[in-house]
Structure 1
Amino acid sequence: MSELVNEEQSKEVASEAKPLDAVVTRVESDAVFVQFDGTREGVISRAQFSQATGGDLTVMARVGQTIRAVILREEEDGTVRLSRKNAVDASTWETLRTLAESQEVIEVTIATAVKGGLVADLMGARAFMPASQSDLRFAADLTPLVGSDVYVIVTEVDEENKRLIISRKRVLEMEEQSARAERIHDFHPGDLVHGRVARMTQFGAFIDLGGIDGLLHVSEMSWSRIARPEEVISIGDEIEVRVLRVEPENGKVSLSMKHTQESPWQKASKAFQIGDIVEGEVRRLSSFGAFVEVAPGVEGLVHVSQISRQRVDQPSDVLEPGQRVMVKVLDIRPEEERMSLSIKEAQMREEKRRAPEWTEKSNSESQQTTLGDLFGDLLRDRFKS
């Protein structure tokens, strides 16, 4: 009964008392000892230290720390009881709102882990950090942060409902962005660098270059055409890439794997000459022609007018992807990665090459037939007579 009376009296005194500054002189597991008004000493119990209950006092309070508190009562033995959590008043909430508006980075101590996140002590008030705001990436276990000092920003303040939300993730993002801004100046177009495949998307992969991620587009993974990044790389792979572009203002670095190797077009300039007849595979069709691969990573265009001597309205009427065809090299521009091809002229070349054979065969057959026709019947008639 006396404890209830003391509690009620404490609330009444606290409601009338004005917050004062006190300096922590000693910290024990169940109480914090302070000095105020110059030489006066007092004690704050575990229950009265913070609205963030469940924390370890030896972690949440530090010797030499200045805190705001209100006097609850003075015991018969002269002990002065104070409360830090009851010192959270309108001015405290005003300060918290200012922190939220300014996005100032502050340090807090994580008191305990609860369902859905973490609880921290902030100026005696209970601050909640959702699990999604505890780190840059999802963390299933939050207990390693309990008892540690972390830097956060206040993201939401609701005095009426005593709701205070903080975020560590936002601070980490700002730090990462700052580090990225500094690190990006270490890269220049043409640099050959090493990195690790961090994550992949449908359009490419992000490569960790050590403090900064660069984008490796699927079109830059191989000189050969590929459909998916998984055909070439896997998460965790250590790869060598070449820097294509650096955009400091956007924090972007574009990378290439294929440019770490000799371009197939450089090889093609040595292997193919205008007028050569070569075999290739139809890779894709368009309304204006067909693209034929004549070497790995080297595709040339057969314009619709160069497909056949007969009129062709749509390339798909006479060709299909995967079909093997003979083509004649009409033009090659390695520096532009362009090649013009002709199926029609390759066929004409083959016909001209085989023309003498056909003529000789035709003459031979004509001579044999003519001798039979001219003398066969005459001889048979004479033998009959």
Structure 2
Amino acid sequence: MRVTEPGHVPPSEGYWMALMQQGEFAASPAPAAEPEEVWEGLGMGRGRPIPMPGPRDLEGAEPDWRAARRYLESGQPFAVTVVGYNRGGLIVRAEGLPRGFVPASHLLRFTNALEGPARRAALARYVGQSLRVRAIEVDEVEGRFILSERLAYQDEERIEALFAELRPGQVRRGVVTKVTAFGAFVDLGGFEGLLHLSEMSWGRVPDPSAVVQTGQELEVLILDVHPQERRVQLSLKRLRPDPWETVAQRYRVGQIVEGVVTTVTHFGAFVRLEEGVEGLLHISELNEHPVGHPREVVREGQSVRVRILHVDPASRRIGLSLRGIDGPSP
């Protein structure tokens, strides 16, 4: 999973190897500033996040990427220590976490227009300081742990007032600020709550961006409020009835219905009968004769007519069969 700004092109691995060897960190002299067009060509123009030099920290210990991802998902601020810098921003460390990077544009009190020696000197003054930051990107494959000091300092008084108002069960209106692989963040009026993909729909959500988009206004249900952890959990699906609560009213044993194959496995296929309701078409019910693999009969996205074998709302299960039916729809 990767969250980043549009149009970002990361520098090559060769650049980062040179960066490590030439010591563009505070521990040794930095090279002369490059022309702006060179930095732009490396994908490191003003306002763009800069990738990490590598997936491991300087000592080679194994970083805890799961902890980094938890910080990203929760939006909770945490403390880091500045251990170095390069032209684009600060290199920071926190015990147990991957080495992080704070782009200069995400520092609270830094003039990003500074160039040359003045820029290096301003960044060098941060070394050894402790910063309060918030995670904005985690990519274990590319070794990227991007942080923001600006986002960690939201309007605290407004946040405190908002947390005093929020209660589980409330319906609030908000604006989607960011869509990720695990869900979306929704601004509730000065603080972002997490709308996890499991709470977006009663059906499967392989891609959260198919359900919500950045900038979209929507009503959400407050599931949980954790003022101390600065965490709010939201739901979209619970504003609509759970289809399984009334599934027995719509489906009965022996009924022939139409559905769409969503997933094919070695033991059968799952068929979506409606949003949030899927039934299992077991391999033994695909054909009158034995089948080596379900893909010999059905495929994802295919429409099928199936017979209902059993309905179990409590277990959220419906058994289906193709046997004795004229076969899948084309």
Number of aligned positions between the proteins: 205
- Quickly say closer, same or farther: Cα 1:167–1:286, change in 2 above 3 A: closer
8 A contact 1:243–1:256 mirrored in 2: yes
In 2, the alpha carbon distance for the partners of 1:164 and 1:269 equals 64
Residues 155-182 of structure 1: CA deviation (Å, up to 9, x unaligned): 9879xxxx99897985973565686566
Alpha carbons of structure 1 residues 300 and 168: separation in structure 2 relative to 1, 3 Å: closer
1:173 aligned counterpart, secondary structure: coil
- Structure 1 length-normalised TM: 0.44
One-letter amino acid of the structure 2 residue matched with residue 300 of structure 1: G
| Structure 1 residue 269: Cα displacement | 2.8
Distance in 2 between the 1:219 and 1:171 partners? 29
What is the DSSP-based 3-state SS (H/G/I as helix, E as strand, rest coil) of the residue aligned with 2:290? coil
Partner of 1:134: 108
- C-alpha deviation, 1:292, in angstroms: 0.7
Q: What amino acid maps onto 2:250 in structure 1?
A: A
For 2:128 and 2:313, how far apart are their aligned partners in 1?
63
1:33 counterpart residue number? none
Partner of 1:199, secondary structure, is strand
**Residue 31 of structure 1 aligns with which residue?**
none
Structure-1 separation of matches of 2:150 and 2:206 = 38
SS at match of 1:214: strand
Structure-1 residue corresponding to 2:34: none
Deviations for 1:55-95, whole angstroms, at most 9, x for unmatched residues? xxxxxxxxxxxxxxxxxxxxxxxxxxxxxxxxxxxxxxxxx
Considering fraction of residues, name the structure with more strand: 1
Is the contact between residue 156 and residue 164 of structure 1 (CA under 8 Å) also seen in structure 2? no
Counterpart selection for 1:329 from 292, 295, 308: 308
What residue identity is the alignment partner of 2:262?
R
Q: Determine the C-alpha separation between the residues in 2 that align with 1:227 and 1:309.
A: 33
Aligned to 1:207: 186
Q: What is the match of residue 254 of structure 1?
A: 233
Question: Greater relative contact order (Cα 8 A, min sep 6): structure 1 or 2?
Answer: 2
In structure 2, how many angstroms separate the alpha carbons of the residues matched to 1:343 and 1:116?
60
Q: Any stretches of 5+ residues in structure 2 without a counterpart?
A: 1-78, 80-86, 90-103, 115-122, 134-148
Residue 218, structure 1, aligned to residue 218, structure 2 = no
TM-score, length-normalised on structure 2? 0.50
- After superposition, the CA RMSD in angstroms is 4.0
User: 1:109-258, aligned counterparts within 5 Å?
Assistant: 132-134=106-108, 173=152, 180=159, 183-184=162-163, 186-258=165-237
Give the AA of the match of 1:133: L
Match in the other structure for 1:340: 319
For residue 302 of structure 1, report the CA deviation from its aligned partner.
1.3
Matched, 1:283 2:257: no
**How far apart are residue 253 of structure 1 and its match?**
1.9
Deviation, 1:320, is 1.0
> Cα gap change, 1:265/1:252 in structure 2, threshold over 3 Å: closer, same or farther?
same
User: What is the rounded CA distance, in whole Å, between the counterparts of 2:248 and 2:207 in structure 1?
Assistant: 29
The answer on 1:304 being equivalent to 2:283 is yes
Q: Which residue of 2 aligns with 1:269?
A: 248
Mapped to 2, the partners of 1:226 and 1:175 lie a distance apart of 31
Partner AA of 2:243 in structure 1: P
What is the letter of the counterpart of residue 237 of structure 2?
K
Kindly tell me: are residues 328 and 248 of structure 1, through their superposed partners in 2, closer, same or farther at Cα, counting changes over 3 Å? farther
Distance 1:233 1:307, change over 3 A: same
Percentage of identical aligned residues: 36
